[in-house]
Amino acid sequence: MASTTTEQTAIEEIGPGQFRSVYNPGRMGNAKPIAYGGCTLGVAVRAAYAAAVPPTHRLYSLVGHYLGPASTTEPLVCTVHDTRTTKSFATRRVVVQQAQPTATTTNGEQTQMRTCMELIADFHAEGPAAPGMTYSTTPSRAYAGPGAQSEIPAVLTTVLSAAEEAVVARSRDVFGLNERFLETRPCREGVAAQNLNGILKARPTTQDALPLADRTSAEWVRNKTPLESPADHAAALAFCLDGGLSFVPLTHDHGWLTDVAACSSLDFALRVMAPRPDFNRWHLRERRTIVGGAGRTYSEGRMWDEEGNLVAVMSQQSIMRAKRGKRRERRRRRGCETTPNMP
């Protein structure tokens, strides 16, 4: 079991352009042995960097698709293709696979490699900004700084009912991987801190009167252990920003994973605006959902440093499939006392 993000995303070279994760990917946000997508992303970033990317180049774009769930029982294998390498750009296509068991024969169990993810990683040599072209958008609302926020989500500082206590107890390991690697201070101004990421979905929030697409959650976050190389920082950013985007529509609409038949990320686009991000320092991550329909949702996570500079943006389209024969009950009434049945 990895103890840091650097270990979780560590790789070893097993052949020309081929790399294998040192540790199996971890689980988060799923009761089944299905790997957290941020682990796969982080490993892919490290593999892309390891494929002879010039030291002058920094990751600025990571675009791809999740093609199937990864298991927590096998390492990840990355094959990196050098698409282009110039003075200004380096482009790498990364195919991430994992061994999957097939039928058992008289000679033992047979395995085959299954593709879990494909992505394009693009690197750019840092250059001077054009005159007047250094600017940054700001968060959607004002959040108190990391020193004014608590490590404990706001809802857990209130009195919980016995039913709510039971729900929290049964869900404590849902975000265990995040707690192991990252120091996080949920912003009390956001929805997730007020309903525990939707686990306490019946709890009213201060944003209930807003349209769903205008509600936000945020947290101050930084890596728990020192990061050193550009690849370490980029992998940790990818690991962090993948978190919670597939189910943020549920979090912001008084729902939880048990309310839908399927909820998982389909594609992703990570864009890094800062050539030299320093994830050893505090960063503000804000999450919101933009649109939903046709069985899919589209959501974004944005990250700023303490100086207010936008560092990175992660956007994802995700599957959101309703349970067959049953529509999810919408819980928007303030003061609703019904609590969910956790798996």
Q: For residue 303, how many other CB atoms are within 10 A of its CB? A: 25
Q: What is the pLDDT of residue 251?
A: 96
The 10s digit of each residue's pLDDT in 174-229 is 777 888 999 999 999 999 999 999 999 999 999 999 999 999 999 999 999 999 99
CA nearest 305: which of 260, 343, 331, 275?
Answer: 275
DSSP sequence for 87-106: SSEEEEEEEEEEEEEEEEET
Task: For helices 37-50 and 230-241, give the axis angle rounded to 10 degrees.
Answer: 160
Lowest pLDDT segment from 128-137, 184-193, 297-306: 128-137
Q: What is the pLDDT of residue 325?
A: 62
Q: For residue 147, how many other CB atoms are within 10 A of its CB? A: 8
**Mean pLDDT for the chain overall:** 90
Are 76 and 117 contacting, i.e. CB atoms less than 8 angstroms apart? Answer: no
Q: Which CATH superfamily is domain 5-101+111-124+147-321 in?
A: Acyl-CoA thioesterase, double hotdog domain (2.40.160.210)
Q: What are the structural domain ranges in the chain?
A: 5-101+111-124+147-321
pLDDT band, residue 110 (cuts 50/70/90): low
The DSSP element (H or E) to which 238 belongs, if any, is helix 230-241
Q: What is the pLDDT of residue 331?
A: 47
Cα of first residue to Cα of last residue in the chain, in angstroms, is: 24
**Residue 165 in 3-state DSSP?**
helix
Length of the chain: 343
DSSP label at residue 71? B
**Residue 119 in 3-state DSSP?**
strand
What average pLDDT does this structure show over 125-130? 88
Residue reference for tokens 């303490």: 306
What average pLDDT does this structure show over 242-260? 93
SS (H, E, C) 296-328: EEEEEEEEEECCCCEEEEEEEEEEEECCCCCCC
How many angstroms separate the Cα of 26 from the Cα of each of 136, 195, 240? 34, 25, 13
Q: How far apart (Å, rounded) are the C-alpha atoms in residues 228 and 206?
A: 39
Across the strands, what pairs with 305?
Answer: 283
DSSP sequence for 246-281: TTHHHHTTT--GGGSSEEEEEEEEEEE--SS--TTS
Across the strands, what pairs with 258?
Answer: none
DSSP label at residue 161? P
Residue 139 has pLDDT above 80, yes or no: yes
The 10s digit of each residue's pLDDT in 45-84 is 999 999 999 999 999 999 999 999 899 999 999 999 999 9
CA nearest 305: which of 224, 218, 221?
Answer: 221
Residue reference for tokens 């790789």: 11
Residue 2 has pLDDT above 80, yes or no: yes
Is the pTM value of this prediction over 0.85? yes
* Rg of the chain in Å (alpha carbons): 20
The DSSP element (H or E) to which 218 belongs, if any, is strand 217-223
pLDDT band, residue 343 (cuts 50/70/90): very low
Q: What is the pLDDT of residue 117?
A: 96
Cα dihedral 97, 101, 107, 108, rounded to 10, equals 120
Q: What is the pLDDT of residue 129?
A: 84
DSSP sequence for 8-70: HT-EEEEETTEEEESSPPPB-S-SSSBB-HHHHHHHHHHHHHHTT--TTEEEEEEEEEE-SPP
Which positions ≥6 away from 126 have C-beta within 8 Å? 56, 58, 275, 276
